[in-house]
Structure 1
Amino acid sequence: MATGHLTIDLDAVARNWRALNAMTAQGTTTAATVKANGYGLGVERIATALARAGARQFFVAAAEEGAAVRAALGPDFWIGVFSGHMAGDAELIRDGNLVPMLNSGEQAARHMQALPGHPFGVQLDSGMNRLGMEPAEWQSLREMLLAAKPELLMSHMACADEPGHAANLSQKRAFDAMTADAGVPRSLAATGGTLLGRDYHYELVRPGIGLYGARPFENAAPVVTLSLPVIQVRTVEKDEAVGYGWTWGAERPTRIATVSAGYADGILRVLSNRAILWAGETACPLVGRVSMDLLTVDVSALEHDPESLDLVNAAHGVDELADEAGTIGYELFTSLSRRYRRSYTGG
């Protein structure tokens, strides 16, 4: 086949959830964030594996995503929506029994009018200045919203992947001040906050990226292998160039494999002349520019022409590839192409 093969280890996803769950104190629930189609890995299979591992509460970014998770899991799971109650969402929220995290007074009014009595949570801004009610708005609405019995008060941390950053304690103190004596379950920590320790756990943590085997959960089990098929191998002679723009030239006779993948598959163009592909334990550098459908890779170190090369595997994970691209694992996960042939192990 001329498309890459993406293998997703569902048992590794489950192990990562259990490992993060084991870090929390008794009385803290470990939810699972499965937004963006399970971080690009297929939300139906990911959510089902997490449910089997023990997760009972899930978070998504938008109501449409929540409807997909509900369809996959059935009625017996709690599904929160970070974007809250957007205009036009009432039917999705009601029919999917979703729990919007209300981000503003406007959303609160919309929810109470459209779905009186329907469960909701409240998102508070503790200093990230992105989503949630700021302290003054929350103070003006607090009594009314608490009387309506929210199921969760939450906020989100800006710098939790940097344990020593001053923002972590600052946001915790702000969150504590806004939620003191509220008598409602609270959540501040995603993956990074979970790793900061139990002072940040409150009644619920909601890891995301750590479930999928990436930083900041350094001890996570690897989840993804991405193997790319080789279409053709040729010898490029000394002083010949490769690819668009002739950005790489051979200093000696070089065996070049043309690989079926490119930026249409989520392999960022910035990886040109930077990325490393792998044949077992042998490193094979990407040379020349990443094009839409093709890569060119130096396989001179191999004794035989390869049938495929790995871009991501257990030894060279998504974080290492992200380092080569100057980005983060989140971006690479969510850029994975629909062209890849996908298979799942475990679960």
Structure 2
Amino acid sequence: MTDLLYSEEEEALRSAVRELLADHCDAADVLARVESDTPYDRSLWKALAQDMGLAGLLVPEAQGGQGASHREAAVVLEELGRAVAPVPYLTSAVVATEALLACKGDDAAKLLTELASGRTVAALAVGLSALPGGPHGLVRQEGGALHGELTAVADAAHADVLLVPAQDGGLYAVPASDTATVTVTPQISLDLTRPLAKVAFHGASGHRLTDDAPTAVRRALRTGAGLLASEQLGVADWCLTETVRYLKERKQFNRPVGGFQALKHRLAGLWLEVVNLRAAARYAADALATGSEDTDVAVAVAEAYAAPVAVHAAEEALQLHGGIGMTWEHPAHLYLKRAKADSIAYGTAGAHREALAALVGLEPPL
């Protein structure tokens, strides 16, 4: 029987990551960064990726990684969600890494080693809203060079390498530093802690990593969707915890606001949603880790449920904090924006419900 409880090793990992984030990623620092032109926190990424070795959790030990599983990566993403950390962990250490793990050959193995070291950041050049197995933008391959434009690519502005699927079925590794043939233009993003960009290729050259880009991209997006639920769990859990703490301290009519029955009912309902989300997210992470035959179903269930819960938790936090929750200085808006942006990442909840219905043979009503 599958054990979805956190192991001692996973709890120790959580404690270490939470302690690091408490020291390097408090709310004031995140707010200051999103107000600047450099939301990406390089010092935090170095501490996470290089000093703790978390960039290589999913990379086999033979390629210089930790050889851990998706369960451990999910724990890291929970904590990053709790801190709305402005680092490319999901896009580089999870999605791009999974795409490379689907590739064979020395070029892919070398790039995996570089990602595991934390010194290289990669981004899969696919729009953030792309559904696993669904359509997404492709560039043209003409005369050995890549041409085309892709939009809403998450963390592309901070990537050293872009993994680019092309119409010829190949997946190419293109250096982002080749500014003569690669143009990365920041786009306005609701979530300022995970910036988006438009990427244009003007005759760019790259290493062909595989002839089966669709399989690599589907694997990467499925893993991204499944583990995104853990990030959304972290967002929802922070919102619930902080709201409960605030309502215990905030007084009205000389008694804590949290003692009012109407608010107790709202928070109790939200707690149940978060508990159920934890179960769904843990099941998706475990299915990915074990290669279960139910992985597609587990991922679809997790994402169909996670997005509405995370958004609801962030909305409740914003409202129940009262006037202070509406201010820019309070971090509640960062969590609402992350929850909203995540609700369309790697497929909307509605798209995942449709995918789930198809997987289990549930026909739509006539």
User: Is TM > 0.5 for Structure 1 vs Structure 2?
Assistant: no
Between Structure 1 and Structure 2, the one with more helix by share is 2
Between Structure 1 and Structure 2, the one with more strand by share is 1
| Higher RCO structure, 1 or 2 (CA under 8 Å, sep 6+) | 1
